[in-house]
Amino acid sequence: IRLYDRLFNHPAPDSAKDGSDYREHINLDSLQILANCYVEPSINYAQSGEQFQFEREGYFCIDSKQKSDKKLVFNRTVTLRDTWEKIEKSFKD
């Protein structure tokens, strides 16, 4: 399972006011790979292009180029917003 995040740590890496190069703003954690994950057995029959919601994680699609008969690879396409954390924080403030 591949979890993608923002590629840059700065909203406009080319126009940073400190004069830095865009490469200095690359998010080193923009890709996390989770290996040997468990999924429902029915997903073994999934076809390329199908999309799934993994509970509390987001929406995922099968990577059609990396999929094989022995291995499924999923790419996260949309994260789920964690609004509960924001609500909890507002009560602490």
The domain that holds 31 is classified in CATH as 2.40.240.10
* pLDDT tens per residue, range 23-40: 888 999 999 999 998 888
For 67, the token pair is 């999929």
* pLDDT tens per residue, range 49-58: 889 998 878 8
Supply the range of the domain harboring residue 45. Answer: 2-92
* pLDDT tens per residue, range 2-16: 998 889 987 888 876
Position 76 scores a pLDDT of 92
Position 87 scores a pLDDT of 58
Please state, rounded to an integer, the average pLDDT across all residues of the chain: 82
Q: What is the dihedral of CA 52, 54, 56, 57, to 10 degrees?
A: -90
The domain tally of the chain equals 1
What is the spatial distance between Cα 13 and Cα 21, in angstroms, rounded to a whole number? 7
